[in-house]
Structure 1
Amino acid sequence: MLVAAAVCPCPPLLVPEVAAGAAPELDALRDACGDALRLLAASRPDLLVAVGPAEVRDTSAFPAGTRGSFRPFGVALDIRLGMAQPNADWQPSPDVELPASLAVAAWLLRGWKACPVEGLAVGEQLAPERCAAAGRVAAASAGRVALLVMGDGSACRTVKAPGYLDERAEAFDAGVAAALAAADTSALAGLDPELAARLRAAGRAPWQLLAGAAGGAGLGGQLLYEDAPYGVGYFVAGWT
């Protein structure tokens, strides 16, 4: 059953080495993510499932130790899901690689020791009911399950945003923030996939997976961070 969840955004810029000189701009966001992970650890889970959007048709599971890399973003940094940061002479092996969202999750979890970790990629276009079903399966995968749910809000908050300005973006993000703050599974389940896609909100499918996993769990929510740097909506929340 689901005992806790943390919601974090998944921009590669969350990793200081990727952000480089702009890294201090997201320090508050990184701190909030750390607070959310501490809430997860305090829930004493048997299993942590890191969930992130990806270009897959349905869902795809990744075991602990799967490699993630930030080399596509110009940084010679590799990491393993559920493992400490590799030492300097570690070389990536030619195995299956984490999607970018789960590579960011692996970076956030680099000091995690509370329980075993698995990864789950969810297709960005996956229908809400399929997301909810995948969430119920994830919640039933161990006695006490915690989720780290990665996903960004709209990418259309300003004219300089990746998706340019869309006047619907601010209201969409406000609705997501309110749902995360209240642990409102119905509101998350009701997000419009078509609108989310138009607003380039990569978190829609993972959030709807969370809604399915949390149904009947009786969790309460708290919003730890809400902002739109670079014109993209970022949220951090904890459900316990």
Structure 2
Amino acid sequence: MLVAAAVCPCPPLLVPEVATGAAPELDAARAACADAVGLLAAARPDRLYVVGAAPDGGHGVHPAGSTGSFAGFGVDLSVRLGEAPAGDGDEGARRALPTSLAVGAWLLGRAGWADAPIEGLGVDGAATPDVCAGLGRGLADSAGRVALLVLGDGSACRTVKAPGYLDERAEDFDAAAARALGTADTAALLALDTGLAHELKAAGRAPWQVLAGAAQGAGLDGRLLFEDAPYGVGYFVAAWS
């Protein structure tokens, strides 16, 4: 059963070593993410799943001990998703973490997470809401007390300098997503338009809908801890408990 969830953005710039001189620009987002991850630990879960968009490959399960790298962003920095179970030495069977899960691993490492076993799930950005919800229900049913760290960004079309240029529909899309994330409204998350999300380059849509599936019937309350659109991309941090 899902007992807690944290929603965080996943730009590589969240990692100070990647952002370098621009690092202070996302200090407020980092602080909110730290608060959200801390609330996950307070829920004392039996298992934590790190769920993120995988547009760069890496769909499917990533077991504990999987590693990711920010070398593609010019930084010699590697991260690990928790520790592999004792006696599990099959490093070759683990695929590299997609960027979203690497950011999640960095957030957990920064928090010193050692509260529950971890597993990663990279979500195909083309997955339908029904498929995403089914994945979420499977995660929620996998242990008595389940927590999710969900990584995903909103639209990338909020300004002319945004990665997707300016799209006048982006602000309304992000506002609807922020309301749903801030109120733990699973129906509203599942109702986010797949086609519009794709056009607006909102990579968080599929992971958020996995969360919605996991939370159905759980009776969780939500709080929006951070909302902004630096660099023309919608970033949200929310905590559900």
TM-score by length of 2: 0.93
2:226 aligns to what? 225
Aligned counterparts, 1:152-231, within 5 A: 152-231=153-232
Q: Is the 8 A contact 1:56 1:123 kept in 2?
A: no
1:103 aligns to what? 102
| Percent pairwise identity | 68
For residues 202 and 54 of structure 2, the distance between their equivalents in structure 1, rounded to whole angstroms, comes to 12
Partner amino acid, structure 2, of 1:71 = A
| 1:55 Cα deviation from its structure 2 partner | 3.2
Q: Is the 8 A contact 1:56 1:121 kept in 2?
A: no
User: Structure 1 215/59 Cα, relative in aligned 2: closer, same or farther at 3 Å?
Assistant: farther
Segments of structure 1 that go 5 or more residues without pairing to the other structure are 84-91
For residues 113 and 125 of structure 1, the distance between their equivalents in structure 2, rounded to whole angstroms, comes to 33
Q: Is the 8 A contact 2:4 2:239 kept in 1?
A: yes
Report the 3-state secondary structure (helix = DSSP H, G, I; strand = E; otherwise coil) of the residue aligned with 1:186: helix
User: Structure 1 56/125 Cα, relative in aligned 2: closer, same or farther at 3 Å?
Assistant: farther
Partner amino acid, structure 2, of 1:203 = G
Q: Is the 8 A contact 2:180 2:186 kept in 1?
A: yes
For residues 28 and 55 of structure 1, the distance between their equivalents in structure 2, rounded to whole angstroms, comes to 26
2:141 aligns to what? 140
- CA deviations on 1:39-75 (whole Å, 9 max, x unpaired) are 1011110000000001389950011110110001110
RMSD: 1.8
| 1:141 Cα deviation from its structure 2 partner | 1.2
Partner amino acid, structure 2, of 1:42 = A
Partner amino acid, structure 2, of 1:207 = W
Q: Is the 8 A contact 1:135 1:210 kept in 2?
A: yes
1:88 aligns to what? none
User: Structure 1 82/163 Cα, relative in aligned 2: closer, same or farther at 3 Å?
Assistant: same
1:60 aligns to what? 60
| 1:199 Cα deviation from its structure 2 partner | 0.3
Identify the range of structure 1 (58-67 vs 44-53) with the bigger mean alpha-carbon deviation.
Answer: 58-67
- CA deviations on 1:153-187 (whole Å, 9 max, x unpaired) are 00000000000000000000000010011100000
1:30 aligns to what? 30
Segments of structure 2 that go 5 or more residues without pairing to the other structure are 84-90
Report the 3-state secondary structure (helix = DSSP H, G, I; strand = E; otherwise coil) of the residue aligned with 2:160: coil
Task: Give the ranges of 4+ consecutive aligned residues of structure 1 lying more than 4 Å apart after TM superposition.
Answer: 56-59, 92-95
| 1:142 Cα deviation from its structure 2 partner | 1.1
Report the 3-state secondary structure (helix = DSSP H, G, I; strand = E; otherwise coil) of the residue aligned with 1:206: helix
Partner amino acid, structure 1, of 2:196 = L
Report the 3-state secondary structure (helix = DSSP H, G, I; strand = E; otherwise coil) of the residue aligned with 2:45: coil
Q: Is the 8 A contact 2:57 2:98 kept in 1?
A: no
